[in-house]
Amino acid sequence: MEDDREMKMERRREKGAPTYCVTGATGYIGSCLVKSLLQRGYSVHATIRDPAKSMHLLTSWRGGDRLKLFKADLHQEGSFDEAVKGCNGVFHVAASMEFGVLVKDNIENYVQSNIIDPAVKGTLNLLKGCLKTESVKRVIFTSSISTLTAKDGTGNWKPAVDESCKTPIDHVWKMKATGWVYVLSKLLTEEAAFRFAKENGIDIVSIIATTVAGPFFTSAVPSSIRVLLSPITGDPEFFPIVSAVNSRMGSIAIVHIEDICSAHIFLMEHARAEGQYICCAHSCLMSELVDRLAKEYPSSNTQRNLEEEQGSVPSKISSEKLGALGFTYKYCLDDIVHHSVRCCIDYGFLPLTGK
């Protein structure tokens, strides 16, 4: 297998492998995507906000002269111009991870001006940078399953959830459920990105990531893993999030970090890719997730919140559109849970034994 990888890398070097830009390179998906691209023989322009805080990643990336780091900030106009220059494509992974705010008075105005507007403006700044170089052929936008809902207008489960099942923006503003700020930011940013791309002739494709888990080498445990493991950690910040996801979707949709990175690259290079694609390797009832977690890591803190499952038939989280292009998943639910737990034990986030 290693010999095959080396042969493929050598062929890419001989052909002049593409150069890709990855924004948000210090985040969970971003850092692993940079590593995946380098392992496949590509050149990478990785954007980071604070170079001093990202040096630990260099030992994992090991890109040599095929990796270039660029200091860039979504809030600064023109900040990405140099990073995208000469690149064949851009992976826009960077995003705000605000799940909620403590402001009580004029909260709508606060969220709009301090979170939504900067997120939208930052993405448009990046796309404007892409317009300044003729080399960029496609932009991959990392979206989130949080922008979708499995319930119809009457509150009943839909038979299946596909890319068209967007959560109504006015519903998010009105309900302000757990994680609503993040949902709103993703919805409005993605909407603005596609509108700008259409108006300016940019080829943009969105990958809708489900809960991403597995190994990590970031300096802190990624939020998505903390959400996934919250039924066994009892984390008061993240367990309400997984419960809210379960209430909105009727199940928990999951994908391995290596698979989500492979899907990004797959969509970047597939000629027929267009629009939005759900990336979900497996979706399970909350009870099944809790059972898998408890089996992998027995813990007295295991949380169970299964009231809504009684007599319900949850919607299928469909990744058929992505599969129709030929993409296949490498890792199953057991792999994802096992790799996440083992990595968190090695990191020291989970004690060596859950008992």
Catalytic residue status for 151: no
- Three-state SS letters, the chain: CHHHHHHHHHHHHHHCCCEEEEECCCCHHHHHHHHHHHHCCCEEEEEECCHHHCHHHHHHHCCHHHEEEEECCCCCCCCCHHHHCCCCEEEECCCCCCCCCCCCCCHHHHHHHHHHHHHHHHHHHHHHHHHCCCCCCEEEEEEEHHHECCECCCCCECCEECCCCECCHHHHHHHCCCCHHHHHHHHHHHHHHHHHHHHHCCCEEEEEECEEECCCCCCCCCHHHHHHHHHHHCCCCCHHHHHHHHHHHCCEEEEEHHHHHHHHHHHHHCCCCCEEEEECCEEECHHHHHHHHHHHCCCCCCCCCCHHHCCCCCCEECCHHHHHCCCCCCCCHHHHHHHHHHHHHHHCCCCCCCC
**Which residue in the list 35, 186, 295, 355 is annotated as catalytic?**
186
Residues marked active site are found at 186
